[in-house]
Structure 1
Amino acid sequence: MTGKVWLVGAGPSDPGLFTRKGEQILKQAEVVVYDALVGQSILNMIPENATLINVGKRSCKHTMKQEQINQVLVEEAKKGQRVVRLKGGDPFLFGRGGEELELLVKEGIPYEVVPGVTSALSVPAYNGIPVTHRDYCSSLHIITGHKRQGESYNIDFEALVRTKGTLVFLMGVSALGDICQGLLQTGMDPDMPAALLIKGTTAAQRRIVATVATLKEEVERQGAETPAIIVVGKVCSLAEEFEWYEKLPLAGKKILVTRPKELISEMSAKLRSAGAEVLELPAIRTVPCEDQKRLVQALKEISTYQWLVFTSPTGVRVFFEEMDKQHMDIRALCRIRLAVIGSGTAKELKKHGLYPDLMPEEFYGEALGKALAEKCQDGDHILIPRAATGNQELVQILTDSKKVTIDDIATYDTIYAGSALIDEKQEFENGSIDYAVFTSASTVKGFAEATNGLDYAKVHAVCIGRQTKAAADTLGMQTEMSEKPTMDSVVEKVAELCQKQG
């Protein structure tokens, strides 16, 4: 059976600019053929079980030639696979998507195209540059700045100058001098504003604004990295007046978030809304235990329990998933009192229309144990469905203070996992990450396993509670702790630290 190929534009880097259709298609991919310019946050959306084929292409550095890429798409589709060709920006704007389609058509391979947000529009927008403005220009022209080695430009610079429109050159950093010279020699005003926009929509975004006559010199003085685009036109003079990204409280900051994958989005959304670039690299993932016999038996005897205690959102989710498998009605819990370790767990419980009878003021196992010991009675039967590696402090406090029967049942396992696509260790060694957010001691341990050999003194950690901070301190990280063990408090602490850092 022949599979299918989707040419998907990943946008400039910011995951908020990745289209909903692109994300939907990517999550169903069985094979992903991806470029070097695809943003890290987009790469993290690739399914864990997908086959990854890196065909990364940067200036003068090609992992795989275009003809080979075309052939790979055909070969993988002929295996019956759902193949996603993931490209930075838009696949049809200097992305050579047309060349890839030619072979697919020839071989009779079904395909779809999912357009992407191009850097030609989004990167200027993130730098406060409107590519058109009624008072400045009425046209926009997007030109490839790339040329074959040893060949001259096949660009009609004179025609471009006559348009009096905004000019955007993609992939032209290495030829910046030739481009500016070509425009000047065909009559462009030397004082025409021009800009080099570097790593747009990321925390490393910056711009160099000058004129066509001085831009090359200014770039040489300040230094530049790729990817970057060149913008020429009067609208470049509006950048300082219209800049907005730089005014966000976490602009220019890159934050690593290490929560379990299923719990990561809300934290990341809060940080992104404040302007941070968020790198989601779950240090752990949770999976329900294969053998749930003890939990099934407890559900059959649910009426014998006085307390049901949850120590994590995952514990809540796995418990109710098993209830559903056993075709149990929520009313079976009507006589049981509910205790949770904190607000995140309470929020997960509320999804089932239930509210906790007990939640300690401090969201720790010790605090939960003490609070529950005050409320329960001798002879109470307590059910605690939680992680296989659950801290025994909670159980110890209860059994030391009351004559209770506790069924401490492992319902899910915590698995430590690094990223197959992103080198976390290198990110910290390069100094590209400002802060790492840890929301449990388990995520600290998982991070350590994924970054073996890293000098942890280079890691600025923001921790959600005492146990998490203690785990980070043990590794020698530079640690801070949020005022409260909540996501909002963590975001506030990150913002506070970033403002001090400047």
Structure 2
Amino acid sequence: MSGKVYLVGAGPSDAGLLTLKGYELLQTADVVVYDALVGGEVLGLIPPETRRVDVGKHAGSHPVPQEEINRILLREALEGHTVVRLKGGDPFLFGRGGEELELLAEWGVPFEVVPGVTSAVAVPAYAGIPVTHRDCCSSVHIITGHTKKSPGARTDYRALVRLGGTLVFLMGVAALEELCAGLLGGGIDPATPAAILERGTTARQRRISGTVETLPQKAREAEVGTPAVIVVGEVCALAERFSWAEKRPLGGRRVIVTRPRKLASRMTAKLRALGAEVLELPSIVTEPVAPNPALDEALARIGEYGWLVFTSPTGVRVFLEHLRETRFDLRRLGGVRLAAIGPSTAGALEERGL
């Protein structure tokens, strides 16, 4: 029986920009095939037991060719697995999603597409640049910074300049000088505001502002790397007034949470609400001791104890699960006083009526 492939857009990096449907599919997938542009926060949402396949591509380095990625998706589906193909941004916006569906369609493998938040809009927004604004720009045009080597794929810069509006170039860091030279040759005003936005929506996001004429040199001096989005248009001048991401209390901070995965979500949510980029890296796994003769012996003599002390919410959970499994009568705890270290441990007891 054939499985199914879900082509899921992961957004630009911030886990908060992953769609609800994308998150739900990550929780139920047998295997996740993911790109290099998928953010660490999003990868942290994949359950630890789910099999992962890294097919990431970097500038000048494609260890897994696109044809092989297509075959991986087909093979996993034909083996009956539920496959999430996780792609940065939106899978159909210069994401080669259409190419990955062609082989699946040819073999009759069922698939669904879950659109994602594109970096063409989200990254400028996080940098304080609205891609459209009623006062100065009523259209936006998204262009790939590199295309297949064919004459028909060449960018018509004169046409872009005539269109006006905001120009957003994706995957164009290596071609920045060529892009700006093309726009200047196409007749754009050299003083037109422009910006290059590096690692947008992450703690390391950076905005380098200038004009079409000065941006290449400024980018060289700043040693801008990938991934980055290039924006050209009057809206770039609004960035200083509208910037917000770095002004959050923990904006620009990257935090690693090492708590067990089940206990990390509340802390993670608080940190993200304050603007931090949070990576969950559980370094503790608590497993119950089974069998546990020492605990069984203590419970047999529970009437001799004056206090029962809990040191963590996990201790509460494991203790009560043990009582249920051994059919221990909770009324036998009536003469023992309970103590809890910390409000979370006390809350875990109160949730269970103790």
TM-score by length of 1: 0.66
Residue 260 of structure 1 contacts residue 285 of structure 1 at CA under 8 Å; is this kept in 2? yes
Match of 2:318 in 1: 318
Of 127-136 and 145-154, deviating more is 145-154
Match of 2:198 in 1: 198
Could you tell me which amino acid in structure 1 is paired with residue 173 of structure 2? V
Shift of 1:140: 1.2
SS at match of 1:174: coil
Of 99-108 and 319-328, deviating more is 319-328
- Per-residue deviation, residues 342-397 of structure 1 (Å, max 9, x unmatched): 1221232232243xxxxxxxxxxxxxxxxxxxxxxxxxxxxxxxxxxxxxxxxxxx
What is the aligned length? 354
Check if 1:122 corresponds to 2:139: no
Q: Which residues in structure 2 correspond to 1:342-381 (within 5 Å)? A: 342-354=342-354
Match of 1:85 in 2: 85
- Per-residue deviation, residues 152-203 of structure 1 (Å, max 9, x unmatched): 8522222222222111111011001111111121121111111000001111
SS at match of 2:250: coil
Q: Which residues in structure 2 correspond to 1:22-33 (within 5 Å)? A: 22-33=22-33
Could you tell me which amino acid in structure 1 is paired with residue 260 of structure 2? P
Match of 2:99 in 1: 99
Could you tell me which amino acid in structure 2 is paired with residue 291 of structure 1? P
Match of 1:171 in 2: 171
The structure-2 alpha-carbon separation of the partners of 1:105 and 1:203, relative to structure 1 and needing over 3 Å to count, comes to same
Query: Aligned equivalents of 1:202 and 1:268: distance in 2?
Result: 15
Of 263-272 and 8-17, deviating more is 263-272
SS at match of 2:231: strand
Check if 1:108 corresponds to 2:108: yes
- The gaps in structure 2 that reach 5 residues or longer are none
Match of 1:14 in 2: 14
Of 140-149 and 89-98, deviating more is 140-149
Residue 29 of structure 1 contacts residue 47 of structure 1 at CA under 8 Å; is this kept in 2? no
The structure-2 alpha-carbon separation of the partners of 1:76 and 1:238, relative to structure 1 and needing over 3 Å to count, comes to same
Match of 2:309 in 1: 309
Check if 1:134 corresponds to 2:134: yes
- Per-residue deviation, residues 38-75 of structure 1 (Å, max 9, x unmatched): 11111122222222211111222112111110010010
Shift of 1:265: 1.5
The structure-2 alpha-carbon separation of the partners of 1:342 and 1:9, relative to structure 1 and needing over 3 Å to count, comes to same
Match of 1:59 in 2: 59
SS at match of 1:285: coil
SS at match of 2:316: helix
Shift of 1:151: 6.8
Match of 2:74 in 1: 74
Could you tell me which amino acid in structure 2 is paired with residue 223 of structure 1? E
Shift of 1:216: 0.7
Query: Aligned equivalents of 1:95 and 1:299: distance in 2?
Result: 60
- Per-residue deviation, residues 269-304 of structure 1 (Å, max 9, x unmatched): 222222221221111212233425655676677666
Query: Aligned equivalents of 2:332 and 2:92: distance in 1?
Result: 57
SS at match of 2:42: helix
Match of 1:223 in 2: 223
Query: Aligned equivalents of 1:334 and 1:157: distance in 2?
Result: 81
Could you tell me which amino acid in structure 2 is paired with residue 204 of structure 1? R
Query: Aligned equivalents of 1:327 and 1:109: distance in 2?
Result: 49
Could you tell me which amino acid in structure 2 is paired with residue 312 of structure 1? S
The structure-2 alpha-carbon separation of the partners of 1:58 and 1:274, relative to structure 1 and needing over 3 Å to count, comes to same
Q: Which residues in structure 2 correspond to 1:400-419 (within 5 Å)? A: none
Query: Aligned equivalents of 2:93 and 2:293: distance in 1?
Result: 56
The structure-2 alpha-carbon separation of the partners of 1:30 and 1:332, relative to structure 1 and needing over 3 Å to count, comes to farther
Match of 1:38 in 2: 38
Query: Aligned equivalents of 1:330 and 1:22: distance in 2?
Result: 43
Query: Aligned equivalents of 1:162 and 1:98: distance in 2?
Result: 30
SS at match of 2:287: strand
The structure-2 alpha-carbon separation of the partners of 1:215 and 1:318, relative to structure 1 and needing over 3 Å to count, comes to same
Shift of 1:30: 1.4
Shift of 1:325: 4.2
SS at match of 2:75: helix
Query: Aligned equivalents of 1:82 and 1:307: distance in 2?
Result: 50
- The gaps in structure 1 that reach 5 residues or longer are 355-502
Q: Kindly, what percent of the aligned residue pairs are identical? A: 59
Match of 2:161 in 1: 161
